[in-house]
Amino acid sequence: MTTSATMTAPVADELGLDMAALRAEFPMLHRTVHEGQRLVYLDNAATTQKPAAVIDAVADYYRTCNANVHRALHQVAAEATALYEAARTDLAGFIGAPETECIVFTRGTTESINLVAHGWGDAILKPGDEIVLSEMEHHSNLIPWQLLAARTGAQLQFIPVLDDGTLDLEAYRKLLSGNVKLVAITHMSNLLGTINPVREMVAEAHRAGALVLVDGAQSVPHFPVNVTDLDCDFLAFSGHKMLGPTGIGVLYARRNLLESMQPFLGGGEMILKVDWRSATWAEIPHKFEAGTPNMAGAIGLGAAVRWLRQFGMDTLHRHEAALTQYAIERLEEVPGLEIFGHAPERGGAVSFSLDGIHPHDVAQFVDQQGIAIRAGHMCVQPLIRQLGHAALSRASFYLYNAEDDVDALVAALHKTREFFDHADG
Amino acid sequence: MQMDDLYQEMIIDHYKHPRHAATLTDEEVLVDEENPTCGDRIRLTATVAEDGTVSDIRYDANGCAISVASASMMAETLVGRPVGEAREQIRDFVELMRGRKEIDPSELGDLVALEGVKNFPMRIKCATMCWHAVEHALNQLATA
B118-128 pLDDT tens trace: 888 889 999 99
Q: Please report whether residue A50 resides in a domain.
A: no
Q: Report chain A residues whose CB lies below 8 A from the CB of B64.
A: 358-361
Q: Please report whether residue A405 resides in a domain.
A: yes
Question: Identity (one letter) of the amino acid at A330?
Answer: R
The answer to whether ipTM exceeds 0.85 is: no
Q: Is the same domain home to A373 and A300?
A: no
Query: Which among B3, B15, B17 has the least Cβ separation from residue A368?
Result: B3
Domain count along chain A: 2
Q: Is the same domain home to A141 and A184?
A: yes
Asked if pLDDT for residue A135 goes beyond 50, the answer is: yes
Query: Which among B3, B6, B39 has the least Cβ separation from residue A390?
Result: B39
Residue B30 is part of which domain span? 3-143
Asked if pLDDT for residue A46 goes beyond 80, the answer is: yes
Q: Per-residue pLDDT tens for B40-70?
A: 899 999 999 999 999 999 999 999 999 999 9
Over residues B74-85, the mean pLDDT reads 96
Q: What secondary structure does DSSP assign to A108-164, as a single string?
A: SHHHHHHHHIIIIIHHH--TT-EEEEETT--GGGTHHHHHHHHHH--EEEEEPBPTT
Domain boundary among A276, A309, A342: A309
Q: Is the same domain home to A283 and A337?
A: no
Asked if pLDDT for residue A4 goes beyond 50, the answer is: no
Over residues A382-406, the mean pLDDT reads 94
**pLDDT given at position A337:** 98
Domain boundary among A262, A289, A309: A309
Handedness of CA B68, B72, B73, B78 (dihedral sign): positive
Establish if B21 touches chain A: CB-CB under 8 angstroms.
no
Q: Is the same domain home to A227 and A125?
A: yes
**pLDDT given at position A370:** 96
**pLDDT given at position A70:** 84
What's the whole-number average pLDDT of chain A? 95
**pLDDT given at position A10:** 60
What percentage of chain B reaches a pLDDT higher than 90? 70
Q: Please report whether residue A187 resides in a domain.
A: yes
Over residues A38-55, the mean pLDDT reads 98
Indicate yes or no: CB of B66 within 8 angstroms of CB of A420: no
How many residues are there in chain A?
A: 425
Asked if pLDDT for residue A9 goes beyond 50, the answer is: no
**pLDDT given at position B144:** 72
Q: Find the CATH number of the domain harbouring A413.
A: 3.90.1150.10
Indicate yes or no: CB of A390 within 8 angstroms of CB of B13: no
Asked if pLDDT for residue A168 goes beyond 90, the answer is: yes
Say which residue, B15 or B102, is predicted with more confidence: B15
**pLDDT given at position B119:** 86
Q: Is the same domain home to A303 and A383?
A: no
Asked if pLDDT for residue A7 goes beyond 60, the answer is: no
Exposure b/e, A131-159, CB count within 10 A at least 16 = b: bbbbbbbbebbbbbbeebbeebebbebbb
CB A222 within 8 A of CB A411: no
Q: Is the same domain home to A336 and A382?
A: yes
Distance between CA atoms of B80 and B48, rounded to whole angstroms?
A: 9
User: pLDDT band at B100, cuts 50/70/90?
Assistant: confident
**pLDDT given at position A183:** 98
Distance between CA atoms of B97 and B113, rounded to whole angstroms?
A: 12
Q: Is the same domain home to A26 and A155?
A: no
Establish if B144 touches chain A: CB-CB under 8 angstroms.
no
Q: Please report whether residue A384 resides in a domain.
A: yes
Q: Report chain A residues whose CB lies below 8 A from the CB of B2.
A: 34, 368
**pLDDT given at position A405:** 97
Which residue in A364, A377, A389 has the most chain B C-beta atoms within 10 A of its own C-beta, making it the best mutation to test that interface? A364
Q: Find the CATH number of the domain harbouring A91.
A: 3.40.640.10
What percentage of chain A reaches a pLDDT higher than 90? 91
Q: Is the same domain home to A266 and A394?
A: no
Distance between CA atoms of B95 and B92, rounded to whole angstroms?
A: 5
Q: What secondary structure does DSSP assign to A157-207, as a single string?
A: EEEPBPTTS-B-HHHHHHHHTS-EEEEEEESB-TTT-BBP-HHHHHHHHHH
Using CB atoms and an 8 Å cut-off, which of residues 28-57 of chain B contact chain A?
36-41
Say which residue, A232 or B102, is predicted with more confidence: A232
**A6-20, A41-55, A87-101, A383-397, range with the lowest pLDDT:** A6-20
**pLDDT given at position B109:** 84
Find, among A19, A32, A30, A27, the residue nearest to A370 by Cα. A32
Over residues B89-101, the mean pLDDT reads 92
Which residue in A355, A360, A365, A369 has the most chain B C-beta atoms within 10 A of its own C-beta, making it the best mutation to test that interface? A360
CB A123 within 8 A of CB A153: no
Q: Is the same domain home to A216 and A123?
A: yes
Indicate yes or no: CB of B40 within 8 angstroms of CB of A384: no
Exposure b/e, A240-254, CB count within 10 A at least 16 = b: bbbbbbbbbbbbbbb
**pLDDT given at position A1:** 38
Q: Please report whether residue A79 resides in a domain.
A: yes
Q: Is the same domain home to A201 and A104?
A: yes
**pLDDT given at position A8:** 42
Domain count along chain B: 1
Q: Is the same domain home to A305 and A321?
A: no
Q: Please report whether residue A44 resides in a domain.
A: no
What's the whole-number average pLDDT of chain B? 91
Over residues A206-224, the mean pLDDT reads 98
Over residues A75-85, the mean pLDDT reads 95
Query: Which among B1, B3, B126 has the least Cβ separation from residue A360?
Result: B126
Q: Please report whether residue A1 resides in a domain.
A: no
Q: Is the same domain home to A300 and A325?
A: no
Q: Per-residue pLDDT tens for A170-210?
A: 999 999 999 999 999 999 999 999 999 999 999 999 999 99
User: pLDDT band at B2, cuts 50/70/90?
Assistant: low
Q: Please report whether residue A5 resides in a domain.
A: no
Distance between CA atoms of A144 and A156, rounded to whole angstroms?
A: 11
CB atoms within 10 A of CB B35: 20
Q: What secondary structure does DSSP assign to A46-75, as a single string?
A: T-----HHHHHHHHHHHHH----TTT--SH
Asked if pLDDT for residue A382 goes beyond 50, the answer is: yes
Q: Find the CATH number of the domain harbouring B77.
A: 3.90.1010.10
**pLDDT given at position B121:** 87
Active site residues of A: 379
Residue A318 is part of which domain span? 19-30+312-422
